[in-house]
Amino acid sequence: MKKLLALFSIFLIICCGAILKATLVKKSILIYTSMEEYAVALLQKRLDEKFPEYNIKFVTKSTSEIATKVEVEGAACEADIVFGLEYAYIQRIVGDNLAYNFDGRYDMSVFEDDLAPDELKDYTIPSCREGISIIVNNSVLEEKNLPKPTSYLDLTNPIYKGLISMPSPASSGTGYAFYLAMVNLLGEEEALKYFDDFAKNVNTGFTSSGSGPVNALKTGEVGIGIGMISQAVEEISGGHSDLEVVVASEGAAYNLYGSFVVNGKEDKHGVLEIIDYMYNEFTDECCAMYYPEATFKGKDYELENFPQNLRYCDMSNNTTTRKEDLLKEWKY
């Protein structure tokens, strides 16, 4: 009898331990993102504070990598949420029925109209508008006794040979936005001729990531980059005083980024709670801290070192079909 009681006690201890362990193990949520590390770090911090009961992890990939994984894997995709994917890719994902339909869950009228187009407003919440322009390292240009470019057309000047960095439109939303802006400005035929000359001045090939040019500027590898204004401002504010944002006379190109729930993941613990928090609180905070550009109607942000009253390029016809057609013409 004593042996039976002892065995029963051991059984209860094992069962209680298993139950306690299962209770203490946090439920996991995975978020894919193409946003810059400072924005990701802020969201990670806020989610850990807001939802301590969940184990929330981020995986950073390029915009094209994220879109490909979601499209290939569908509901079997490892990610539950995508934070900050370029709109042209989201259009494609929505067209393939791979983004959860919020069905009026959010009031999208608070955002600028181009951030809430009819075809996407039930599938994505805006993350930000991110401007793209000329970034320079003044020390490099001064050392070589070269003038600061003020126009995108200046960048084909042979005096800048080997001194320019730009992301590839084939892998980077930043690179494609600049490509599209030049096509809209010059026309497709003339834009392709422009990039023939532009490519001769590129340092060691087009970078695969949108952050590549600013990183090369920081090390002095190049003197001029086509890069994200927010990334450059973050570096300038952090002490890289040699860097400067030069808003070209033609204006700044830009990308629109949004977040969505992978279709089929909406019933998973915490997923809709997190996307609700991003809509209700995080987008506004993140824009105020890093992306102070036109996002919410009637709301203006001011950020130290960020250019005020940005002029923008014509970014019309930024559709999936147009992107596919233009990338077929890109040969670098």
**CA distance linking residue 99 with residue 81, whole number of Å:** 9
pLDDT computed for residue 3 by the predictor: 53
Domains and CATH numbers, the chain: 27-129+255-289 (3.40.190.10), 130-254+309-329 (3.40.190.10)
**CA distance linking residue 329 with residue 260, whole number of Å:** 30
Q: What angle do CA 190, 192, 197 make, to 5 degrees?
A: 95
What is the number of H-type helices and E-type strands within the chain? 12, 8
Contacts of 242 (CB under 8 A, 6+ apart): 137, 138, 139, 140
Q: Which residue has the tokens 């009031």?
A: 107
Average pLDDT, the chain: 92
In this structure, are residues 110 and 185 in contact, taking their beta carbons and an 8 Å threshold?
Answer: no
Neighbours of 75 (CB within 10 A): 10
Tally of CA atoms within 13 A in the half-sphere of 29 that contains its CB: 27
**CA distance linking residue 86 with residue 107, whole number of Å:** 21
pLDDT digits (tens, 9 = 90+) for 77-128: 999 999 999 998 999 999 999 999 999 999 999 999 999 999 999 999 999 9
**CA distance linking residue 61 with residue 34, whole number of Å:** 5
pLDDT digits (tens, 9 = 90+) for 156-205: 999 999 999 999 999 888 999 999 999 999 999 999 999 999 999 999 89
